[in-house]
Amino acid sequence: MLGILILLFALSYVTALDTGPVQIIPSSHALGSDGPWQTVNVSLGDPPQSVQLFPGGIFESVILSNGICSNTSLPKPCGSGGLYDDSKSDTIDDTSIGFNSNNNVTSMDDGQTQTVGISMPIMDQLQIPRVGFSNWVVPNLSISLVNEIYTTLPDGTSYPVQVGNLALGSAINQSFTTDFGPSINASLIPGWFYEQGVTGNTYGLHIGSAAMGIPLSLWLGGYDRSRVLGPVSSQPCFQNRLRIDLLDVGIGVDNGASPFNFSSKRNILDQGNSSMGDSTSVIINSLSPYLHLPKSTCDAIASYLPVTYRPKFQLYVWDVNDAAYGPIITSPSFLSFTFRASNLQQSNLTIKVPFQLLNLTLEAPISSKPTQYFPCRPPLAGGGYTLGRAFLQAAFVGVDWNSDTGSWSLAQAPGPNTARTPQQEILTTTVSSSSNTWSDSWAGHWTPIEETSSTINSTNATASSGNTVSTESSAPKAGLTTGAKAGIGVGCGVVGALLIGIGLYLYRSHSHSRLASVSSSQQTASAMTSDDPSTIPLKGYYQPQAPQEQTIAEAPGSEPVELTGAEQVAIELGNGQVARQELGVNSR
Ligand SMILES: *[C@@H]1O[C@H](CO)[C@@H](O)[C@H](O)[C@H]1NC(C)=O
Ligand SMILES: *[C@@H]1O[C@H](CO)[C@@H](O)[C@H](O)[C@H]1NC(C)=O
Ligand SMILES: *[C@@H]1O[C@H](CO)[C@@H](O)[C@H](O)[C@H]1NC(C)=O
Ligand SMILES: *[C@@H]1O[C@H](CO)[C@@H](O)[C@H](O)[C@H]1NC(C)=O
Ligand SMILES: *[C@@H]1O[C@H](CO)[C@@H](O)[C@H](O)[C@H]1NC(C)=O
Ligand SMILES: *[C@@H]1O[C@H](CO)[C@@H](O)[C@H](O)[C@H]1NC(C)=O
Ligand SMILES: *[C@@H]1O[C@H](CO)[C@@H](O)[C@H](O)[C@H]1NC(C)=O
Ligand SMILES: *[C@@H]1O[C@H](CO)[C@@H](O)[C@H](O)[C@H]1NC(C)=O
Ligand SMILES: *[C@@H]1O[C@H](CO)[C@@H](O)[C@H](O)[C@H]1NC(C)=O
Ligand SMILES: *[C@@H]1O[C@H](CO)[C@@H](O)[C@H](O)[C@H]1NC(C)=O
Ligand SMILES: *[C@@H]1O[C@H](CO)[C@@H](O)[C@H](O)[C@H]1NC(C)=O
Ligand SMILES: *[C@@H]1O[C@H](CO)[C@@H](O)[C@H](O)[C@H]1NC(C)=O
């Protein structure tokens, strides 16, 4: 009965649908114990419960339940993005997929931070606010409801997770099958809008910056052209991942004198590491907060900055008392990332991330007092090189799941001086940039250093204590512009967040030894008609029988992962890694 009601409800909306790009409204609050990071505000279930989520992830959305804050040994705050009480939703379906049982997933490792949790697959409806209309209602969203989760720092301290994620994967009619009963279909959000004929199976994202007052921009089936500046690099997706070759990392200054004792620096990516090849594959992933680069690269960048490596966090903390800190953070200086453009050998694309965006804050529960940090972090064991939210503050990403393997676009995104009225475009395989310039988009929000004779330069520099700015007279004005301060006000009142990189997992009943397997239909037009299982992008098998090899062909970024034995599951990780994990389920 319930199912029929949902269906009718959904259909009544289908008839009323207008078509064209759908904007997902950003939340007015930024969150993050390592941010601040902007989120989207959606409602789950009926009656609706609003939760703030990080946009990103390619499999199910991860929602934190109110149970996660009951562990009293963990510091506060907890779940500051909002918690979902599954017992209060009339539209929840927690039996079709998960057999209404809890499943322990131990050592859920996003490859970068060790996250441990217990989760349960469910389906519920999602409501997306629509300006001037009633909400979009997405039925049967595939969700992992997490009942217990915490992240462990390298020093062994644990802290609670703050924010779940709204997955932007492509799957339509992801069929969950059991050995008993009919299969159950759930779709991911871009896939659902595509299925309804509202938009293409695409999205455009610029996460912006709360601290600098650059609003988050997330569109389904479209993008805001004013978020795309200069040349665009378009390349195929790699097993649903946004993978690209990183050619170099550099430091530069847009205008004015340099706060460094050089005007620009190149070849930082492989500095001090002779074993790095011509290029380094990185995954762009908005679920990861940091820049996960080789330790040698992080150390090389850090050698030019007034920062100190803190092993507790495996991050670099700004020395805010160093005279160079202010000038670096407020001047038009930037960290640049040069990528292979459009998969071409001879072409490259450089994305500039102003150091202003890399003055991020560790807060409770990660750090007891607010600490400014520089977000370079070496990958943990098993993790790959990933450019996360720190990078995506300054980059636009557009993803088109419709094309053969899926394709995606990367471009420079603007600074705070950006039109608040979006230049809405339909997103296809190609993305067009606006005629605005990056430099203008930051003008008034950074403070160029006057070029005076006393300004340090490469031919005459002090080498003392990293203090590269010479005299008071040439030091840039301290502080930020009014616009920047207003932006920071928005971001700082809120605390706490960490990514969750939970993904594909398999599960079994603890009350019955029933088996479940899950697969998703291919999102691409060609593959939708294909039965070749090797083209299915996301799937896993729970392998219940005694030792027998089972391969997951889609292990992203790696060779196929073999599952052997009865108690192993594959976990698709937020940063594009797949790990083998023990499933701590007692079959009773
Ligand atoms: C949602 O899933 C239920 C099964 O749990 C199914 O009966 C129903 O038709 C689905 N609704 C839609 C709109 O797909
Ligand atoms: C999220 O949306 C709900 C419902 O529209 C609203 O009540 C709430 O204030 C919003 N929260 C944030 C943080 O934007
Ligand atoms: C509470 O969190 C700690 C980590 O700080 C963990 O070791 C413990 O198992 C958790 N307890 C429960 C009941 O989940
Ligand atoms: C998804 O399933 C519905 C029936 O529930 C069907 O009408 C539709 O064609 C399917 N779409 C795809 C892309 O498989
Ligand atoms: C589930 O999706 C498959 C593949 O598109 C479709 O054939 C089937 O009819 C769907 N089942 C339901 C219950 O909607
Ligand atoms: C040097 O680069 C290689 C290849 O990327 C990497 O495996 C290694 O960890 C790097 N060394 C350091 C110290 O970061
Ligand atoms: C760095 O960020 C913190 C927190 O947002 C802010 O208070 C501080 O003013 C920033 N530093 C500079 C030099 O802009
Ligand atoms: C990028 O392209 C420019 C112009 O072709 C070239 O000068 C530069 O060396 C390239 N950079 C890298 C890191 O390949
Ligand atoms: C750099 O230093 C040299 C030597 O002191 C000086 O001649 C030159 O004018 C300086 N340049 C700038 C831009 O300050
Ligand atoms: C530039 O400054 C760094 C510290 O930031 C120092 O180690 C280096 O020796 C300086 N280089 C020159 C040429 O003065
Ligand atoms: C640069 O060198 C000149 C000449 O040696 C010296 O007078 C000046 O003070 C130096 N500037 C700085 C900032 O050290
Ligand atoms: C999950 O693990 C906890 C702690 O180890 C245990 O108490 C609980 O019974 C387990 N749940 C299931 C469904 O196995």
Tokens coding 5:
């009601």
476 Cα–ligand 11 center, Å: 19
Cα 418–Cα 423–Cα 424 angle in degrees, nearest 5: 140
Centroid of ligand 5 to alpha carbon of 51 (angstroms): 29
Q: What pLDDT score was predicted for residue 9?
A: 38
pLDDT band at 202 (very low <50, low <70, confident <90, very high): very high
Give the pLDDT band of residue 101 (cuts 50, 70, 90).
very low
pLDDT at 94: 81
Q: Note the ligand closest to the C-alpha atom of 319.
A: 7
Cis omega before residue 365 (within 30°)?
yes
Cβ-contact 519, 536 below 8 angstroms? yes
Helix (H) or strand (E) holding 349: strand 348-354
The answer to whether the CB of 238 falls within 8 A of the CB of 36 is no
Spatial neighbors of 514 by CB under 8 A, at least 6 apart, are 99, 178, 179, 180, 508
User: Residue 326 in contact with residue 478, Cβ under 8 Å?
Assistant: yes
Query: Which band of pLDDT confidence, cut at 50, 70 and 90, is reported for residue 301?
Result: very high
Residue 521 in contact with residue 194, Cβ under 8 Å?
A: no
Q: What is the pTM of this model?
A: 0.78
Which domains can be identified in the chain, with CATH numbers? 22-442 (2.40.70.10)
Residue nearest to atom 5 of ligand 8 (CA): 347
**Bridge partners for 121 per DSSP:** 144
Residue 455's pLDDT is: 52
Beta strands 280-284; 386-387: pairing state: parallel
Question: Does the beta carbon of 273 lie inside 6 Å of ligand 6?
Answer: yes
Q: Two tokens at 291?
A: 């820049």
Of the residues 251, 338, 339, 342, which should be mutated to test ligand 8's pocket, given the most ligand atoms within 8 Å of the CB?
A: 338
> Is the predicted pLDDT of residue 76 greater than 50, yes or no?
yes
Q: Are 439 and 277 in contact (CB under 8 A)?
A: no
- Amino acid (1-letter code) at residue 360: L
CB 180 within 8 A of CB 524: no
More reliable by pLDDT, 552 or 97: 97
Give the angle 254-259-260 at the CA atoms, nearest 5°: 105
Residues in Cβ contact with 306 at an 8 Å cutoff, skipping those fewer than 6 apart: 318, 319, 322, 324, 325, 328, 466, 467
Higher pLDDT, 344 or 7: 344
Residues 553-571 pLDDT 10s: 222 322 222 222 222 222 2
Task: Say yes or no to pLDDT of 321 above 90.
Answer: yes
Cα Rg for the chain, rounded, in angstroms? 24
Per-residue pLDDT at 454 exceeds 80: no
Atom 3 of ligand 11, nearest CA residue:
460
CA distance 334 to 354: 4
Nearest CA to ligand 10 atom 6: 463
What mean pLDDT is reported for the chain?
75
| CA 355 / ligand 11 centre spacing (Å) | 27
- Judged on CB neighbours under 10 Å (0-12, 13-18, 19+), 467 is middle
Q: Any residues with Cβ below 6 Å from ligand 11, and which? A: 454, 456, 460, 462, 470
Structure token digits, residue 275:
């074993």
CB of 183 sitting under 6 A from ligand 4: no
Asked if the model's pLDDT at residue 511 lies above 70, the reply is no
pLDDT at 278 over 80: no
Beta-bridge partner residues of 282: 244
**Residue ID of nearest Cα to ligand 2 atom 12:** 27
153-163: per-residue pLDDT in tens?
888 889 998 99
